[in-house]
């Protein structure tokens, strides 16, 4: 549905040259939620703005449903709905209904289609009772739902959501997440979502790409990312004893847990080394587990260059 090839973008800020994107490529398929994950300044918003035609890349290609954004701009943009970062995607001095009519008109939808879609979207987002209230008087959660409804009025196949739950309370974020999932599952939308909230990506995305300083560090399904790192994290529990102090010989993180020590090692070489040392000093090993790290831990490891496992 969306194919992004080798995007590059440089910003010039006075004397400063900022390489925001240094060759970013990925694909998103129909019905898939793809998360672009990265810290502030990683290049997420720049990527989204390029895909929805707001800024021009210095190099690279965007292909949407087989059409090149550069040569088929109007047809491409008709296939995209976007909610950009922040709360200014819609008009605060208009009501949800008026916003929907305006966005529908911009999409050149005939009046009756516009109204039918608007009714359906208001129902989908549970906004029927608020349709005539000024957007400025709605909660942030509802404003975000209105923004999403407006992005969907043209029935786009590709939805771009830049930090969609940022600044929302827990309940509104939950309700929005549920709608986003439904849009992918029930309507087959391809969804590009950016976030620096790892929990959001872990719960919602099918695949994620980790981006940092304008480069994609890796791109995987969430499940296989966790599986890949699961092998690397071993938890060994050792019964405490007075004579046991081999810590300087082993590369493990050690935690004191009252009656035992908990050792964490990150890969199989370190694991076997640790076991040998422990056996050498006749430690009593109580249990050995592999641990599935959270996406947040994976993210921290991957974005910390010194410690990137050499298999990348």
> Which residues sit at the interface with ligand ADP, rule CB under 6 A?
11, 13, 18, 20, 38, 40-46
Nearest-angstrom CA–CA distance, 243 and 282 = 10
Q: Which is nearer to ligand ADP, 198 or 275 (CB)?
A: 198
Task: Indicate which single residue of 21, 45, 82, 152 sits in contact with Mg ion (rule: CB under 5 A).
Answer: 45
Structure tokens at 283: 């430690």
Nearest-angstrom CA–CA distance, 150 and 28 = 22
Q: From the CB of 87, what's the least distance to Mg ion, in Å?
A: 14
Nearest-angstrom CA–CA distance, 300 and 307 = 10
What does residue 260 show for φ and ψ, rounded to 5 degrees?
-145, 165
Q: From the CB of 24, what's the least distance to ligand ADP, in Å?
A: 11
Question: Taking CB under 5 A as the rule, does residue 46 contact Mg ion?
Answer: no
Q: Which is nearer to ligand ADP, 40 or 242 (CB)?
A: 40
Q: From the CB of 43, what's the least distance to ligand ADP, in Å?
A: 5
Map tokens 């930090």 to a residue: 163
Residue 261: burial class (beta carbons within 10 Å; 0-12, 13-18, 19+): buried
Q: Which is nearer to Mg ion, 47 or 99 (CB)?
A: 47
Question: Taking CB under 5 A as the rule, does residue 89 contact Mg ion?
Answer: no
Q: From the CB of 206, what's the least distance to Mg ion, in Å?
A: 21
Q: From the CB of 193, what's the least distance to ligand ADP, in Å?
A: 12
Q: Which is nearer to Mg ion, 158 or 193 (CB)?
A: 193
CB atoms within 10 A of CB 211: 25
Q: From the CB of 44, what's the least distance to ligand ADP, in Å?
A: 3
Question: Taking CB under 5 A as the rule, does residue 47 contact Mg ion?
Answer: no
Q: Which is nearer to Mg ion, 157 or 194 (CB)?
A: 194
Question: Taking CB under 5 A as the rule, does residue 266 contact Mg ion?
Answer: no
Q: Which is nearer to Mg ion, 45 or 89 (CB)?
A: 45
Question: 38 and 296 in contact (C-beta within 8 Å)?
Answer: no
Contact partner at residue 157 from ligand ADP, Mg ion, none, CB < 5 to 8 Å by partner kind: none
Question: Taking CB under 5 A as the rule, does residue 195 contact Mg ion?
Answer: no
Task: List residues near Mg ion by CB under 5 A.
Answer: 44-45
């Amino acid at each position: 549905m969306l194919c992004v090839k080798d995007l590059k973008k440089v910003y010039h800020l006075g004397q400063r040259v900022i390489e925001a994107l240094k060759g970013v490529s990925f694909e998103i398929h129909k019905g898939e939620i793809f998360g672009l994950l990265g810290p502030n300044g990683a290049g997420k918003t720049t990527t989204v703005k390029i895909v929805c035609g707001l800024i021009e890349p210095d190099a690279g290609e965007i292909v949407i449903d087989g059409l090149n954004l550069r040569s088929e701009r109007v047809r491409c943009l008709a296939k995209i709905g976007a909610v950009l970062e922040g709360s200014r995607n819609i008009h605060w001095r208009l009501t949800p209904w008026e916003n929907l009519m305006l966005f529908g008109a911009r999409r050149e939808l005939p009046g009756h289609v516009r109204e039918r879609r608007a009714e359906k979207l208001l129902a989908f987002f549970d906004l029927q009772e608020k349709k005539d209230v000024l957007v400025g008087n709605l909660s942030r959660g509802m404003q975000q739902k209105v923004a999403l409804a407006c992005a969907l009025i043209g029935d786009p196949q590709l939805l771009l959501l830049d930090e969609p739950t940022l600044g929302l309370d827990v309940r509104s974020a939950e309700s929005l997440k549920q709608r986003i999932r439904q849009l992918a599952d029930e309507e087959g939308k391809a969804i590009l979502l950016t976030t620096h909230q790892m929990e959001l990506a872990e719960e919602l995305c099918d695949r994620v790409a980790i981006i940092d300083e304008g480069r994609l560090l890796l791109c995987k399904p969430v499940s296989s990312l966790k599986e890949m790192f699961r092998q690397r994290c071993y938890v060994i529990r050792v019964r405490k004893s007075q004579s046991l102090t081999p810590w300087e010989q082993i590369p493990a993180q050690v935690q004191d847990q009252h009656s035992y020590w908990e050792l964490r090692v990150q890969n199989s070489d370190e694991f076997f080394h640790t076991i040998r040392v422990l056996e050498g000093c006749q430690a009593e090993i109580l249990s050995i587990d592999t641990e599935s790290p959270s996406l947040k831990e994976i993210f921290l490891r991957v974005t910390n260059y010194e410690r990137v496992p050499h298999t990348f």
